[in-house]
């Protein structure tokens, strides 16, 4: 996947999370950058976003806004990309 495709795929997956939980990820672009700087692999992007979905489910309120800490993104990515 080229960098633009990877960013588009990551954004689409994160938009699904926003829709599911009726919230806005206020640092969406930073999360996209953090993920796509580490990998451009579609399967790994999916795994990272799936893990972020679980994090959001456990840590965010329905509706409103959430900021996903980049430490969380990098920590999950680090474990997935081993």
Q: What pLDDT was estimated at residue 53?
A: 97
Give the H/E segment covering residue 20: helix 3-21
Distance of CA 77 to the CA centre of its chain: 10
| pLDDT score at 82 | 87
Domain that holds residue 75: 3-80
pTM: 0.94
**81: closest CA among 38, 37, 36, 46?**
38
What is the CA 18 to chain-centroid distance, rounded? 10
Q: Which are the contacts of 52, defined by CB distance < 8 A and separation ≥ 6?
A: 14, 17, 31, 68, 72, 73, 76
pLDDT at residue 63 greater than cutoff 90: no
* Per-residue pLDDT tens over the stretch 9-59: 999 999 999 999 999 999 999 999 999 999 999 999 999 999 999 999 999
Into how many domains does the chain fold?
1
Residue with tokens 């451009």: 40
């Amino acid at each position: 996947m080229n960098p633009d495709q990877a960013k588009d795929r990551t954004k689409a997956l994160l938009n699904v999370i926003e829709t599911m939980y009726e919230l806005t990820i206020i640092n969406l672009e930073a999360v996209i950058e953090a993920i796509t700087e580490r990998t451009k692999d579609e399967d790994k992007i999916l795994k990272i976003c799936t893990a972020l979905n679980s994090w959001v489910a456990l840590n965010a309120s329905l509706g409103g806004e959430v900021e996903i800490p980049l430490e969380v993104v990098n920590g999950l990515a680090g474990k997935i990309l081993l």
